[in-house]
Structure 1
Amino acid sequence: MLTSAHVACPYCGEPIELLLDASAGGQDYIEDCPVCCRPISVRVDLGDDGEARARVAGEDEA
């Protein structure tokens, strides 16, 4: 199941939408910002309710 998450790019601050795959469990991956093209470190965690949540950081913050 894909869940939509709205986050702000840690570099340019623009709001972006990420699609999170809750069936894959917790995961870490890199996704480029569609606005400024810089690499964003994305951490997906599953809450107690099974809902996927995303945390984002820039390369220098990860």
Structure 2
Amino acid sequence: MFGIGFQELLVVLVLVLLVFGANKLPEIGGGLGRAIRNFKRAASEPDEIDVTPTDKKDKNDDKQA
């Protein structure tokens, strides 16, 4: 498993528990899950570029008034 044995994984998990505490672990896990999900969604969607022309004349009139 990526060159990481059970003992190394256990040490990393204990260190994470000590650093962040038991109360923060669900928040960190949820945030990590959302980040991975959003990354996968963004990677699978085609790139969309909005090419609709904007009316710059109206925006300039609003700033001057």
TM tier, shorter chain?
under 0.3
The answer to which structure has the higher strand fraction is 1
> TM-score under structure 1 normalisation?
0.19
The answer to which structure has the higher helix fraction is 2
Which structure has the larger Rg over C-alpha atoms?
Answer: 2
If asked which structure has higher relative contact order (CA below 8 Å, sep 6+), I would say: 1
> TM-score under structure 2 normalisation?
0.19
